[in-house]
């Protein structure tokens, strides 16, 4: 056996042995790895078939033996390229359906069949014979139509795998780049060699691709053993880590920052790579200018936090969760969720639920809630409590005469005058239509009457200036005081005030009446 042939067989056999080793190594440890390992097992197994059959082909002495081993090569080689592409895609988080995977494999399966039956149609090799100058096992071949179709398809698949891997280079953290580099080179080396072979720039009569596959195998072996390709977070997870809408910071067991995602930079503009390796409490103080609000221990915690960035208020929900592995603390994960818009919507809905849209004071619902609270507090403390129901006299006449838009102006006019004379503790609300209510904690009926008359006179003395001229209105009011030590509800008390209001209207309007029990 001549020296070059020995070298070829040695290199090809080395590639085959390394791929068998990789296949078995990952197979026996598959339970500890991700699902991506199954693609890798199939990938290396088909490469091993390709390499060993190529080696046996170079050991052949007859054309029949060479054809047989070439057929075996084409069981492994076309399918291995597709599996390599699927392996890269799965690693990058690109998952295909079973139908699409089968579709990718159709052409390689046809190729394997075409090679096995080439003597019947010569569509793959127009000429396939022992090289007349070099002799067996070297082959002289002239390619057929299907060879060109297969070659273009295989080259495109290898190029797609390479370009996909390269395209994700900038998307990942430096910690994962060694894995990706091994993946890129593992695809690049055989692709370039195949291209040189097609351009007839390699040794005559021999397929050089299996001779260089040991280099790809060494790279994969290094990635699995050193950078933990199947156990360390793959690129697909890294991309998800950086694309989720929550800010994520990962701390080790000593509370040092070991990772943060891209959204953190958006949430906190001062975040940079210099934070890596720093104590989180110190890094946060430098970042925000105040202490971190949560205790960082093995307990899961959650809290809302308000921050100001360039006069813009943002609200974040912070969640802290421990990273536990087989009972051991491996660090913490901090998740920051921007809930500003949600809180603003919540406040808006709460406001709409509690305030009157026209006058911007409490509505009946809110009044009843606060009035009930004050009523119960007054009972517990044995202090007086009174309510006033008040009604604009002849308000319907205002609407009918001047229009509803003037009526709305009048309602806002009344509210403005009243609010200038009332305190925060005096719960003032629009009770309905042109009717208003006032809850007075600590007021007797007599004191409430004095306040009511003060308000009534203020309205009487301040006319509304409108496009229709000056409009004057008056108020009628009814007052009821809670009776100490009597089992009474707020609804019963308001009903008494309503009766007193009715009495004031019956007596001629523009006056204040206190409820008096009928004898």
User: Other C-beta atoms within 10 Å of 36: how many?
Assistant: 19
pLDDT at 311 over 80: no
Give domain 355-514's CATH architecture. Answer: 2-Layer Sandwich (3.30)
Residue 326 confidence (pLDDT): 45
Residues 6 or more apart whose CB falls under 8 angstroms from that of 164 comprise 88, 89, 92, 94
pLDDT at 369 over 90: yes
How confident is the model over 234-254, as pLDDT tens digits?
555 665 666 778 889 888 888
Of 164, 186, 172, 181, whose CA–CA distance to 237 is shortest? 172
pLDDT at 32 over 80: no
Residue 177 confidence (pLDDT): 78
Task: For residues 189 and 11, give the distance between their C-alpha atoms in angstroms, rounded to a whole number.
Answer: 14
| Mean pLDDT, rounded, for 296-316 | 80
User: Half-sphere exposure (CA, 13 Å, Cβ side) for 287?
Assistant: 23
Instruction: Identify the bridge partners of residue 126 per DSSP, sorted by sequence position.
Output: none
| pTM (global) more than 0.75 | no
How confident is the model over 391-404, as pLDDT tens digits?
999 999 999 999 99
Confidence bin at 4 (pLDDT 50/70/90): confident
pLDDT at 500 over 50: yes
Asked whether the beta carbons of 61 and 14 are under 8 A apart, the reply is no
How confident is the model over 101-146, as pLDDT tens digits?
999 999 999 999 999 999 999 999 999 999 888 888 999 999 999 9
Residue 228 confidence (pLDDT): 61
pLDDT at 233 over 50: no
Give domain 244-339's CATH architecture. Answer: 2-Layer Sandwich (3.30)
Better pLDDT: 277 or 360: 360
Confidence bin at 519 (pLDDT 50/70/90): very low
Query: E strands of 45-115, at which residues?
Result: none
Residue 9 confidence (pLDDT): 92
| Mean pLDDT, rounded, for 429-453 | 95
Asked whether the beta carbons of 143 and 122 are under 8 A apart, the reply is no
Residue 391 confidence (pLDDT): 94
Better pLDDT: 513 or 327: 513
Asked whether the beta carbons of 99 and 29 are under 8 A apart, the reply is no
pLDDT at 485 over 80: no
Rounded to a whole number of angstroms, the CA Rg of the chain reads 42
Task: For residues 390 and 112, give the distance between their C-alpha atoms in angstroms, rounded to a whole number.
Answer: 94
Q: Domain 3-234, what fold?
A: Rhopdopsin 7-helix transmembrane proteins (1.20.1070)
The secondary structure of residue 474, as a DSSP letter, is -
> Scanning the structure block, which residue is given the tokens 């007797």?
444
Domain residue limits, the chain: 3-234, 244-339, 355-514
Task: For residues 55 and 13, give the distance between their C-alpha atoms in angstroms, rounded to a whole number.
Answer: 6
Confidence bin at 293 (pLDDT 50/70/90): confident
Helix axes 98-116, 145-167, angle to 10 degrees: 140
pLDDT at 518 over 60: no
Task: For residues 122 and 153, give the distance between their C-alpha atoms in angstroms, rounded to a whole number.
Answer: 19
Residues in the chain: 519
Residue 304 confidence (pLDDT): 86
């Amino acid at each position: 056996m001549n020296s070059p042939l020995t070298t070829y067989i040695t290199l090809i056999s080395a590639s085959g042995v390394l791929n068998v080793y990789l296949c078995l190594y990952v197979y026996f440890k598959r339970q500890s790895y991700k699902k991506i390992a199954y693609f890798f097992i199939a990938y290396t197994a088909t490469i091993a078939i390709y390499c060993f059959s190529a080696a046996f082909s170079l050991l052949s002495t007859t054309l029949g033996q060479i054809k047989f081993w070439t057929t075996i090569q084409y069981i492994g080689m076309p399918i291995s390229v597709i599996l390599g592409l699927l392996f890269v895609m799965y690693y990058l988080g690109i998952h295909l359906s079973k139908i699409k995977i089968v579709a990718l494999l159709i052409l390689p399966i046809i190729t394997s069949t075409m090679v096995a039956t080439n003597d019947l149609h010569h569509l793959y090799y127009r000429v396939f014979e022992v090289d007349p100058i070099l002799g067996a096992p070297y082959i002289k071949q002239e390619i057929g139509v299907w060879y060109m179709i297969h070659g273009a398809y295989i080259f495109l698949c290898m190029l797609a795998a390479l370009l996909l891997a390269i395209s994700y280079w900038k998307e990942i953290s430096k910690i994962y780049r060694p894995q990706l580099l091994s993946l890129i080179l593992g695809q690049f080396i055989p692709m370039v060699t195949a291209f040189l072979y097609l351009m007839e720039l390699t040794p005559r009569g021999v397929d050089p691709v299996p001779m260089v596959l040991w280099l790809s195998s060494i790279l994969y072996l290094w990635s699995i053993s050193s950078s933990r390709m199947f156990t360390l977070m793959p690129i697909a997870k890294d991309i998800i880590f950086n694309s989720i809408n929550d800010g994520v910071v990962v701390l080790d067991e000593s509370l040092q920052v070991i990772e943060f995602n891209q959204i953190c930079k958006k949430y906190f503009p001062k975040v940079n790579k210099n934070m890596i390796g720093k104590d989180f409490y110190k890094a946060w103080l430098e970042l925000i200018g105040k202490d971190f609000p949560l205790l960082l221990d093995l307990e899961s915690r959650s809290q809302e936090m308000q921050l100001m960035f360039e006069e813009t208020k943002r609200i974040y929900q912070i969640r802290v969760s421990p990273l536990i592995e087989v009972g051991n603390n491996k660090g913490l994960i901090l998740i920051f969720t921007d809930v500003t818009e949600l809180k603003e919507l919540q406040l808006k809905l709460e406001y709409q639920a509690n305030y009157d849209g026209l006058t911007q004071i409490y509505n009946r619902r809110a009044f009843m809630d606060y009035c009930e609270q004050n009523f119960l507090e007054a009972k517990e403390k044995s202090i007086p409590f009174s309510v006033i129901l008040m009604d604009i006299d002849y308000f319907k006449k205002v609407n009918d005469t001047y229009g509803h838009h003037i009526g709305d102006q009048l309602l806002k006019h009344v509210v403005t005058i009243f609010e200038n004379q009332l305190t925060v503790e005096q719960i003032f609300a629009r009770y309905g239509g042109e009717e208003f209510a006032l809850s007075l904690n600590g007021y007797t009926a007599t004191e409430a009457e004095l306040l009511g008359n003060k308000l009534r006179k203020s309205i009487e003395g301040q006319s509304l200036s409108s496009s229709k001229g000056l409009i004057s209105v008056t108020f009628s009011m009814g007052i009821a005081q809670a009776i100490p030590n009597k089992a009474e509800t707020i609804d019963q008390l308001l009903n008494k005030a309503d009766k007193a209001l009715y009495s004031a209207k019956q007596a001629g309007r523009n006056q204040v009446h206190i409820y008096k029990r009928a004898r």
